[in-house]
Structure 1
Amino acid sequence: MDYQAYLFDLNGTIIDDMQFHARAWYDILSNDLKSDITFDETVLQMYGKNQELLERVFGKGYFTQEQIDKLSMEKEQRYQAEYKAHMKLIDGLGDYLENAKSKGIKMAIGSAAIPFNIDFILDNLHIREYFPVIVSANDVALSKPHPETFLKGAELLGVAPSACVVFEDAPKGVEAAQNANMKSVVLTTLHEPADFNAYSNILTFTANYQNLNIF
């Protein structure tokens, strides 16, 4: 079918930066907070909001809200400091965005990232013009795999959920798209296709946007 809108997750989908996030979180969790979590276990916990990750690892009520906010910002600052020199779009995405724009396809960001990180990416890569709608962690009450992020993006774009394609890199993100009645394209930047066996809404797997033809 002809899709009317694209909803992009940010990290691991527009940029290949999830290893940088993982290293920043692992540094915080293991060195600062003295958790015995492994790096691989850290990767598995990297979905949803920063507060939710901390609560999954340590339990609700372990930190005050002030502590959570401070840890969250410290993690993002470490991530940005390490990643900025490596920042670039996933191969082929620049042309893909321009092609979609020329076809009149509406586009939005639907991410569990905070605005501090979304602005960091969009402004440094000069791609804000493609995304008139941005749904961040601050804009939803319920994180992925709940469909709120993508349903809100579709609503703001004025497009029915069934006419949207979600670009994701994480199983929980694909699950959120499925819960929103949306198809997904999966970027294999962090996960293997086998990690998505539970989902029936996937159009294709791809390492990048070169030669991708989903319109």
Structure 2
Amino acid sequence: MNPKNTAFLFDLNGTIIDDMAYHAKAWYHILAEDLGADLTFEEVKQEMYGKNAEVLVRIFGEDHFDTDEIEKLSTKKESYYQHAYKPHLELINGLQEFLAQAAAANVKMAIASAAITDNIDFVIDNLNIRHYFQALVSADDVSTSKPNPETFLKAAEKLNADPADCIVFEDAPKGVEAAQNAGMRCVVITTAHPKEDFAQYDNVIGYIADYTEPYIKNFFEQQ
């Protein structure tokens, strides 16, 4: 690995912070309790990928809500999430050290996430890690969510990095598929899915439970 050319692209939820349970609870509040969707908590967890608007359209149909209603529901969902998660907000174990190691090696880094900008700001400012990232790409910056490669390709472009030199850190199959579609290698963190869920992707170069594992602690020597 040549640090001068390499770029690290991090998904946010489940990759930088382990917060997916709080998103699931917030979506369940909105979808099942507030809007009356006939969904179990497990079914909500399966549907909560992509942009907030995409989730609502996927469940209720294209014309069920107008743009203003979608915006209000999205804001309400994120308010539920941030209020519940803030007391528990912390980086995944070992990530602080890994970010510092990458920064010391002059590796370019970006967050490339389906989260809205406000949630990215909520995380990186409360955890004081904004200085590690030279670019941010959120749901607000793309027209199509993962597995479309737009999120990762825009992040690479912002970093002036070749996709072939980018290593993506992801926790979700659709994110790994997006990285593959972008021509990027991927390290999978198994916070939300077991290794078996990624068997169909040929761009995965390693699996970690967190950033303290020997694979990631010795990452620069191995590449």
TM-score scaled to structure 1, two decimals? 0.97
**Aligned position for 2:58:** 56
Distance 1:191 1:59 in 2: 28
Distance 2:181 2:7 in 1: 17
Distance 1:161 1:12 in 2: 22
**Aligned position for 1:85:** 87
**Aligned position for 1:141:** 143
Map of 1:31-180 to 2, 5 A cutoff?
Answer: 31-180=33-182
SS at match of 2:219: coil
Residue identity in the other structure for 1:41: E
**Matched residues, percent identical?**
57
How far apart are residue 2 of structure 1 and its match? 3.9
CA RMSD of aligned residues (A): 1.0
Residue identity in the other structure for 1:30: A
How far apart are residue 197 of structure 1 and its match? 1.8
**Aligned position for 1:183:** 185
How far apart are residue 214 of structure 1 and its match? 2.9
Distance 2:194 2:150 in 1: 25
**Structure 1: tracts of 5 or more residues without a match:** none
Moved more, 144-153 or 190-199: 190-199
**Aligned position for 1:205:** 207
How far apart are residue 58 of structure 1 and its match? 1.1
Q: 1:214 aligns with which of 192, 196, 219?
A: 219
Which structure 1 residue ranges, 4+ long, deviate > 2 Å from structure 2?
A: none
How many aligned residue pairs are there? 215
TM-score scaled to structure 2, two decimals? 0.94
How far apart are residue 67 of structure 1 and its match? 0.7
**Structure 2: tracts of 5 or more residues without a match:** none
Distance 1:84 1:214 in 2: 31
Residue identity in the other structure for 1:172: K
SS at match of 2:26: helix
Residue identity in the other structure for 2:162: A
Moved more, 185-194 or 145-154: 185-194
SS at match of 1:198: coil
SS at match of 1:6: strand
**Aligned position for 1:9:** 11
Distance 1:197 1:40 in 2: 22
Deviation track 1:137-179 (CA, whole Å, cap 9, x = no partner) reads: 1111111000000001011101100000000111110000000
Distance 1:59 1:197 in 2: 32
